[in-house]
Structure 1
Amino acid sequence: MSTETVRTGAADEAAERRREQRGWYFYDWACSVYSTSVLTVFLGPYLTSVAESAADADGFVHPLGIPVRAGSFFAYTVSLSVILAVVVMPLVGSAADRSGRKKPLLAAAAYTGAAATTGMFFLDGDRYLLGGALLIVANAAQSVGMMLYNSYLPQIAPPEERDAISSRGWAFGYAAGSLVLVANLVLYSAHDAFGLSETAAVRVCLASAGLWWGAFTLIPLRRLRDRRSTAAGPGSEPGATAPGLRQLVATVRDMRRHPLTLAFLLAYLIYNDGIQTVISQASVYGSEELGLGQSTLIGAVLLVQVLAVAGALAMGRLARTHGAKRTILGSLVAWTVTLGAGYFLPAGAPMWFFVLASGIGLVLGGSQALSRSLFSHLVPPGKEAEYFSAYEMSDRGMSWLGPLLFGITYQMTGSYRSAIISLVAFFVIGFALLARVPVRRAIEAAGNPVPEKI
């Protein structure tokens, strides 16, 4: 074979890889609007108001005959969706690895979630049960879809490119979330000018996230390629399945053969719990402790989304020079400093809250993107979806310790400032655990090539 033929083949392969990577970015672009517009901004308050309109004189609704406070219905529904996702993800991940056919499973998850989100247009009056059911389906489908999406990373990017590719994917997602949130806020704020009631405007915003999700999912489905599984061993034949919980046990048992991968996952579980709690409780801190209005809080959410794009790309560049592990450790220091500053924020001062939101935005996207790319190096070949199901459960299914600590601290002290500063513990412990993980040895133990910078 001539040198020219080899060069041409390598060039064609690189071009195809770049095309696939660009398609991969667009799944984050497609589904991130659900997280931003639906979960973070609109659905919680709106579904709570629908449940309250259906409540009895004591403020309770009765799904399946169980008395539930209307104000707790949204939180309980999110919890149920997480439980469903925890059961389904290992089963889907194992099936994807064994069959090598991730695209049909990704399509099923994406369009199930998109359809459920679009169906939220019909959530009005006292239809709280419809809203709860759609939320459970959409949230679980998003978790499954993100698990499959993440598992493509080791297959579409060589080790030296993964930090940059993962960071660009997060940046695409935050950019889409910002763009759609701006459009939704314009529609919501000027609903009268569009001939819509306030509730109709919310329903349009919810449904538009589902339509966006479904439309842009077509791009990754056209560009991503299925690959035959390289997993070997008993039970690895195509079509083999196991009940979700049994498969979860099998996945964890297999991960015990890679204790350094588990050590990273434990560190990620802890510091990511802190990240997720800051995201979910920052608005409570702003409204209850700092006395800020709804418009200020929504503006802060938008600022976080915009700056997360720049933060993800900037931290991706830092990782090229300093390695992903050191950059993540640096981001955990930045999270700690940001929370410390948040403790001292004066009440009734929106400008300083925007400064806090800026700090969160700059470290948010990068810490998440680099954690994903670093974990991709620690996954044994042929088990990408199965291991990323455990990663996704750490991301979504285990993020309850932070809110629990936040709530207990507030209950004991009566101070949201004490509650917010208590979250520093997650970043300090996560830093200590991650610093102890020998990532080069972990990558070698997983059977993967070690990048020059990691």
Structure 2
Amino acid sequence: MYKIGSKKVINGWAFYDWANSVYSLVISTAVFPLYYGAITENKVVQFLGIEWEHPEALYNYALSFSFLVVAFISPILSGIADYTGSKKKFMRFFCWMGSLAVMSLYFFKGVDTVWIGIWFTILASIGFWASIVFYNAYLPEVALPEQQDRASAKGFIYGYVGSVLLLLVCLGMILSQESGEDKLTMMRYSFVIVGIWWVGFAHLTFKRLPNNIYNKKPEDDYIWKGFRELKIVLSELKNYPYLRKFLASFFLLSIGVQTIILTATIFGSKELGLDSTSMIITVLLVQVVAILGAFLFSRLSERYGNILALKITLGIWTLVCFCAFSLDKSLENVDLYFYGLGGLLGFVLGAIQSLTRSTYSKLLPETQDHTIYFSFYDVTEKIAIVLGTFVYGLLYAMTNSMQWSVLCLAIFFLISFIILSTLKKTKYVK
């Protein structure tokens, strides 16, 4: 029997982070970028009839395109899902889509099949991020407002633990091989394992999540009513100044957070000259420390309020930018400095991701349309990613240094801090 606030339901909801986070770590951050780089290194690739002399640019364009697709479709799908009460169906569909796309990366074997890698990278990214829209929208339906900080943090902690475990398994498989060709083969097997892990463990979440708790009955024209619902919610946002201000602050901090996440390994390898081993050690360090950060800041927010906790994380993110700007490959033991920076980043990474989700959930008005509201949250983040990576790349092109790009991100954190400081107390958010 479904009951909001039930420990069993909350744990089932949070377990989807355990299932899907292996995609963001193994595919987005660690193994697949290394595999793609090894396959396309010093090669010209063909895609859509165009010769790409810089394959890494093609990969970044593919990710940006997937973010734009999600930003475009999620409000439409969310409106339909809310009106028909079919969040679970949409979440399950995109979960299957993403996991099957990840498994299909196995067939990306060389430069001749780079099109497979690019297309399934796009589909996997869309599947992952679109499923997250519906997953996040369940938070106010599975946890009471006073439970949402801990529930959100629990999800991220599950995700960090699960993804680190699977990454270690994949690295063990890869490093057990001696030849470079055999290592690449093990990487391809790891893509299949990630897809199976994702869709396999997601079944526990789907089993426990409620479906259509408001007993909505769709009519024949529910698609068009989904569009009309989207328009209504857009107009309703004008009546919630706290929500608008928070979304503005979230947009600015997401520019910084997501850009750093996507470019950290490139910064370490290109700007500081660190090898792939150092990069993987840093990625693992970030994930482990993020578990501690998510836990501690969830307790801090309970005692002193979400707004103060978020402002502390923003201060530390700003410090991360200044520290990264001060690093140079000529520094002695620069790898140790980078590990320290990774630890500092990890401490606030889990915290800010968890707190922004739970704070937004608490600020929502009384509504049955949680999915459409969370679609704005998701669209805000995706547009921030596109803008952030563009600004980062533009400054790099102008200055030929990623250090100035990183320093610029501190401005977004500072403005976000200022906007967040204008939020007053609400019933559940201090």
TM-score (norm 2): 0.91
Q: Secondary structure at the match of 1:423?
A: helix
Alignment check: 8 A CA contact 1:274 1:423 kept: yes
Output one character per residue of 1:54-82: Cα deviation in whole Å (capped at 9) or x when no partner: x6xxx35241x345443322112112211
What is the alpha-carbon root mean square deviation over aligned residues? 2.6
Q: Cα distance 1:230–1:328, how it changes in 2: closer, same or farther (>3 A)?
A: farther
Kindly, what percent of the aligned residue pairs are identical? 29
> Which residue is equivalent to 1:422?
408
Shift of 1:299: 0.6
* Among candidates 402, 407, 411, match of residue 393 of structure 2: 407
Q: Which ranges of structure 1 fall in alignment gaps of 5 or more residues?
A: 1-8, 441-449
- Answer with 1 or 2: which has the greater Rg: 1
Alignment check: 8 A CA contact 2:233 2:372 kept: yes
* Among candidates 177, 188, 198, match of residue 183 of structure 2: 198
Indicate whether 1:44 and 2:33 are aligned.
Answer: yes
Counterparts of 1:104-183 in structure 2, within 5 Å, are 104-125=89-110, 126-183=112-169
Which piece of structure 1 moves more, 284-293 or 358-367?
Answer: 284-293
Indicate whether 1:317 and 2:277 are aligned.
Answer: no
Alignment check: 8 A CA contact 1:123 1:130 kept: yes
Q: Cα distance 1:78–1:250, how it changes in 2: closer, same or farther (>3 A)?
A: farther
> Which residue is equivalent to 2:245?
263
Counterparts of 1:16-95 in structure 2, within 5 Å, are 17-50=6-39, 59-63=44-48, 65-69=49-53, 70-95=55-80
**Separation in 1, partners of 2:322, 2:50:** 41
Alignment check: 8 A CA contact 2:80 2:226 kept: no
**Separation in 2, partners of 1:392, 1:158:** 22
Instruction: Figure out how many residues of one structure are paired with residues of the other and give that number.
Output: 424
Alignment check: 8 A CA contact 2:79 2:230 kept: no
Alignment check: 8 A CA contact 2:15 2:204 kept: yes
Indicate whether 1:302 and 2:291 are aligned.
Answer: no
Alignment check: 8 A CA contact 2:80 2:227 kept: no
One-letter code of the match for 2:162? A
> Which residue is equivalent to 1:275?
257
One-letter code of the match for 2:17? D
Q: Which ranges of structure 2 fall in alignment gaps of 5 or more residues?
A: none
> Which residue is equivalent to 2:199?
214
**Separation in 1, partners of 2:106, 2:311:** 42
**Separation in 2, partners of 1:255, 1:225:** 27
Q: Secondary structure at the match of 1:256?
A: helix
**Separation in 1, partners of 2:212, 2:230:** 23
Shift of 1:425: 0.5
Q: Cα distance 1:243–1:118, how it changes in 2: closer, same or farther (>3 A)?
A: farther
Output one character per residue of 1:279-315: Cα deviation in whole Å (capped at 9) or x when no partner: 1222222222222111001110110011111110110
Which piece of structure 1 moves more, 382-391 or 282-291?
Answer: 282-291
Q: Secondary structure at the match of 2:222?
A: coil
Output one character per residue of 1:101-153: Cα deviation in whole Å (capped at 9) or x when no partner: 22222111111111111111111132122222211111111111101000010
Q: Cα distance 1:247–1:97, how it changes in 2: closer, same or farther (>3 A)?
A: closer
Q: Secondary structure at the match of 1:388?
A: helix
Shift of 1:249: 5.5
> Which residue is equivalent to 2:346?
361
Shift of 1:243: 9.8
